[in-house]
Structures are given as structure tokens and as C-alpha cells.
Amino acid sequence: MKNQKTKGTLNKEIPLPSISSRQGRRAALCCFGHWKLKFGDCLGSGTWDSGFLLTCLISILLVLSGTLGCQRSRAGSTVAGSTSVEPFAELLAEEYMSRHPESHIYVQGGGSTAGIEAVMSHAANIGLCSRPLMGKEKNLYAVTIAKDAIAIILHPQNPIQDLSLEQIREVFSGKIRNWKELGGPHHPIVLVTREEGSGTREAFQKFVMEKEDISLEALVQDSNGAVRQVVASNHNTIGYISLGLVNDQVKALKISGVEPNMTNIDNGRYILVRPFLFVFNEEPVGEAKSFLEFVLSPLSQKLLLKEGLVPVSPKIAQE
Amino acid sequence: MQVKEKIIEKFFLMIALSSITILALITFFIFEEGIPLILKIGPKAFLLGEKWIPSKGLFGIFPMIVSSFWVTFGALLLGIPLGLACTIFLSELIPPSIGILLRPAIQLLAAIPSVIYGFWGLIVLVPLIQNYLGGPGLSILTGSLVLSFMILPTIITISEDSLKALPPSYKAGALALGATHWQTIWRVLIPAAKSGIVASIILGMGRAIGETMAMIMILGNAVKMPNSFLDSARTLTTNIGIEMGYASGDHRQALFATGIVLFFIIMALNTLAIFLSRRRVD
């Protein structure tokens, strides 16, 4: 009791460490040297302290057990992966949880590959993927939950409305460098692309660029939102994002006269369309299964349609 | 009593060693993941290669090393004069009443999360530079500007400490010999505290090279050799930050290898800073 009291008063008297505290800085700078000195003492003095060795071992074990011990213990399912799918998964998870108050679905981003790796290492129950599976990933159990179109976006004040796939390819490969060559104002074109490995970029590469490379001059942003932000704030930019995320800050380009909308996606005239996948280690059971069923239900599919995605069941798309 | 003390001593030693073990583990894993790729494509192709196209197996990080130094150099160019001026003002010229306000304000600068700096740069500086200087706005210049603010607290606090650590007799002596206040500062105090000031600049440089989040938002991340301060660029840290999410296989290893390069640069800078601040003590 007495002990506690003294502790309390002591605590109050100890000044909070501040950045400017010189001792702190010094200590930080010199701690490495000190440690070496201590270690040298142990070695040099000849009395090799077995206790020291033991503490070394124990502390290593402590750290290791710390890293191993953090296996998932909380209840509920974790969904992780593509940042393109994440906002839709979040919406569906909220809807699902409001219907099943006892469940918890945790949705995280990270990217398609990270999501698949998380599923393989059992860190997540469901992986979100916005590209077709590759290599050994094909062994996983994947379900297409919707399809997404990729829109080529410009600043709303850019007079250009319509480009052919060929022209877009030449713009992104750096062959056409000025809007004038496309009938626009005399300004250099600023390309905005996604980072290597992004599902959106892979789909764009496959559909639009084919064998050509995206110019290394292009600005690289790491999410759909960041690309949209950059395009919205600069008149000379061109970028590409999920059609579902196009808003009035940017303008979606027609491709050879075909406007990116539900009808054109559905009848196959708009070709920049990719699958959104849920990925599992094996056929899902329990909560993961009921969430998947919920996502594939007409109600959720209608929700996804409203958000700008293309539903998997053709009936809903036609309604 | 003896036993109890021994136990407590060992307990603290154990905790202290755990933190070092974590450092060792981090180092080990970075090297374990990164070295195979460097050996696979060759150190020269990795360090001096000019093309980074992971999907084609090209992992040249030379443009990023160059960009890292461009951005850092720009930040120092703006940050050192500003930081030094601030230090001199704070330690020598300031009326005490303003010091009470100013010192915490500068320390607060260090406490602002870097994502806030990035956001501020993106919303305020990027459009300004885009409109008045041209280019995409997301550029080395913008990055350097923001970084120069971010390294100010490091430079100011450490160099002010080294100025304060000087024996009072230096200043008294100089003034007694008839030097003006400014002559005392410029000819006596600053040269005497030189090693501490240089160490503060090197630590600031380490902070600038290591900054990631703000730079991802501001630099534009284009993977090419920068030609001017108005070009977009990608530093070593932003390369890791921006691509880690989706990387797998060789690509992922290449990012760890980028980390190794960064590790050596930061190690070199910190060793230099420790060495310089040691010399002052001796």
C-alpha cells in the first residue's frame, strides 16, 4: 500500500520526455556504443556469464513467441484484398451484419495479391481479387461475385469526348504527347496510371495496351481514389479507374463511340470489363459460406448494380 | 535482497535485449528476402539499371536512388538555412516571452503525422506549382518543400542543444574582447558548435530519405530518371510503399532488396551522425 503511494507521487514528479531533452538525444545517439561496451565486458572479463546467455535466449524466445502468438483469436470473418473490391465488400458486409447482428465481418484492403496470400496463410477467410487467378493461385476456390468495367477518365473541362482504343494505347505508351494531336487544346498530356501489380493496371494492360508498355513518364498512384483525385485537379491528365467509382469530378471517355454504361457492358460492346472474385482456400463453410450466399443473392446483386458494378446473374442486369 | 535485485536486473536486461532482437530479426528478414533477387539479377543490373518494369523482370533502381538524393538535397537546400536561422534566433536573439510559444510550436511540427503533411502538400502546394511553374505539380520541388518543413524540428532541436552545451565563457570572452553580438554568434558560437549542427543536418537528411507517406502523395511516383525539379519522381521508400500491396514473387523480393539499399544509406548516415557528435564530446 505504502509502496503504491510513493510510486504515484514519483510518477508525477518525473517530467515527461520531450523531444528537446538533451539527455534523451545523447542517450539515443550513444546507446549503440554502450551496448557494445557491455557486450565487450562480458566477453573480455573471462567470466562468461551463463546468466547473460540465458537471458539472451529467453528474450529471443519471447520475441518469437510474440510473433507466433498473434494468431487470429477474435470471432468473425476477415475479408482482405483488392482495393477495387474493398468498398463494395464493406458495403455488403455492413448490410450483412445489420441482418445478422451476431456476426462480424472485418474488411481490409491491401491489394489482390496480398489478399490471396492472406487467404493462403489463413490470416483472412476471404480474399478479394480483381484479376483472374494466376499460376498456383488457380488451386484456390474462387467465385465471381460481380464484374467491373474500367473507365478511361479525363478532367471534366477537357473537350475530348471520344477516343479509339488505338489512340488510348498511343497516348499511354507515350507516342501521342499533346492533346492537340487528338483535337484538343495545345497542352502536354499528363498520364496517370496505377502501380505494378494492381489488378486495375493488369486489366488495363491486357485490354488496352496489349503488347505495348505504359510509358515510364506516367504518374503512378496507388488507388482508384488517388488517380481520380489527380485527374480531377489537373486539366491535362488522363487516367483509368473502376467505372463504379467515377463521379462528377471526372469524365468517363467513350471508346470508339461506345459509352461505358450498363447496357453497353451487358451487350458486350464495352470491352474493358474484368471479374471481381471472392477467393477461399476450399469450399467455404459456416459464416464465410453464408456471407458468400448473401453476396450472390438478388438483393446484394441489385445493390452492386446500383453502385455501378455488373451483377453476375444476367436476370438482374436486364431488369 | 541480493537475489531480488539480481532478478530485477536480469528482467530489465531481458526486456532491453528483446528490442534489440526485434531489430536483428527485422534486419535478418529484409536481407533474407532481398539478397536472393540481387544475386539473381546481379548487383550491377539492380543498382545501376535504369528500368523498373517488374512485370517484365526488369528491376533497376538507379532512378530511385537518384530521385531519393534529389528530393533530400532539395529539402536540405531549403531546410538548412531556415533551420539554422531559427536555431540562432531561438538560442540567442529571442525575447523569453516568445520562446515559450515558439519552442513547443516547433516541437509540435515533429508530432504532426506525415500523412497530414502529404495531404497539405497535395491540396495547397501541388496546384500552386502546377499553375505557376508548370508540369504535373506532383514534383520533386513540391516534395522537397514539404520535406524541408518536416526536417526542421530535427535540425532545430539538436543544433540548439549543441549551441546551449557550449561553455558560457566562449560567449562572455568574445563579448569582452569587443565583438558585437552578431560577430560572437557567427564567428565563435556557430564554429564551436559545428559538429553538433552538422550531426543535426545529417539526422535531418536521414529523416528526409526515410519519409514515405507524404512522398507517395506528393511526388507522383513516376519511374524514370528525373530531368528537372518539376519532374515527377519515385524515391526508394515510396517504391516500397506504393507497390508492396500487390507484389508477389520476384517483385516482392525486389522491394525487399530496395529496402536493403535504403538500410545501408540510413546506416551510413546515422553512423556519420554518431561519429560527429562523439567528436564533440571528446
In angstroms, what separates the C-alpha of B43 from chain A's closest C-alpha? 22
Helix axes A50-69, B2-41, angle to 10 degrees: 60
What is the rounded distance in angstroms from the CA atom of residue A127 to the CA atom of residue A281? Answer: 9
User: Does A221 sit within 8 Å of B153, measured CB to CB?
Assistant: no
pLDDT at position A3: 42
Q: How many residues does chain B have?
A: 282
Quick one: average pLDDT of A212-226? Answer: 90
Q: Which residues contact A252 (CB under 8 A, 6 or more apart)?
A: A151, A152, A153, A243, A246, A259, A260
Q: Which residues of A touch B110 (CB under 8 A)?
A: 19
Q: How many residues does chain A have?
A: 319
Residue A280 has pLDDT above 90, yes or no: yes
Between these two residues, A28 and B99, which has the higher pLDDT value? B99
Q: Whole-number mean pLDDT of chain B?
A: 91
User: Which of A35-39, A77-81, B75-79, B196-200 is least confident?
Assistant: A35-39
pLDDT at position A31: 39
- Give tens-digit pLDDT for A169-202: 999 999 999 999 998 899 999 999 998 878 788 8
Q: Whole-number mean pLDDT of chain A?
A: 79
pLDDT band at A41 (very low <50, low <70, confident <90, very high): very low
Task: Indicate if ipTM > 0.90.
Answer: no
pLDDT at position A172: 95
Closest CA to A214 of B221, B253, B282, B281: B221
pLDDT band at A136 (very low <50, low <70, confident <90, very high): confident
Q: Report whether A195 contacts A220 (CB < 8 A).
A: yes
pTM over 0.90: no
User: Does A230 sit within 8 Å of B138, measured CB to CB?
Assistant: yes
Q: pLDDT exceeding 70 applies to what percent of chain A?
A: 74
* B234 contact A CB<8A: yes
Contacts 24+ apart (CB under 8 A), A95-98: A95/A294, A95/A300, A95/A303, A96/A291, A96/A294, A96/A295
pLDDT at position B202: 92
Residue A60 has pLDDT above 70, yes or no: no
Q: Which residues of B touch A218 (CB under 8 A)?
A: 222
User: Does A216 sit within 8 Å of B223, measured CB to CB?
Assistant: yes
Chain A residue with Cα closest to B57: A196
Q: pLDDT exceeding 90 applies to what percent of chain B?
A: 75
What is the rounded distance in angstroms from the CA atom of residue B30 to the CA atom of residue A115? Answer: 21
**Exposed, middle or buried, A21 (CB in 10 Å: 0-12/13-18/19+)?**
middle
- Give tens-digit pLDDT for B153-181: 999 999 999 999 999 999 999 999 999 99
DSSP A4-68: HHHHHHHHHHSPPP-TT-HHHHHHHHHHHHHHHHHHHHHHHTS---HHHHHHHHHHHHHHHHHHH
In angstroms, what separates the C-alpha of B181 from chain A's closest C-alpha? 25
Helix axes B236-243, B62-88, angle to 10 degrees: 120
Closest CA to A251 of A277, A232, A271: A232
- Give tens-digit pLDDT for B46-104: 999 999 988 888 999 999 999 999 999 999 999 999 999 999 999 988 888 888 888 89
All cell numbers assigned to A190: 499528363
All cell numbers assigned to B220: 507522383
pLDDT at position A56: 63
Q: Which residues contact A174 (CB under 8 A, 6 or more apart)?
A: A191, A215, A217
* B274 contact A CB<8A: yes
* B88 contact A CB<8A: no
Q: Around Cβ A131, how many Cβ atoms within 10 Å?
A: 24
User: Does A19 sit within 8 Å of B107, measured CB to CB?
Assistant: yes
Between these two residues, A138 and A19, which has the higher pLDDT value? A138
Closest CA to B257 of B96, B15, B35, B107: B35
CB pairs under 8 A between A and B: 128
pLDDT at position A17: 40
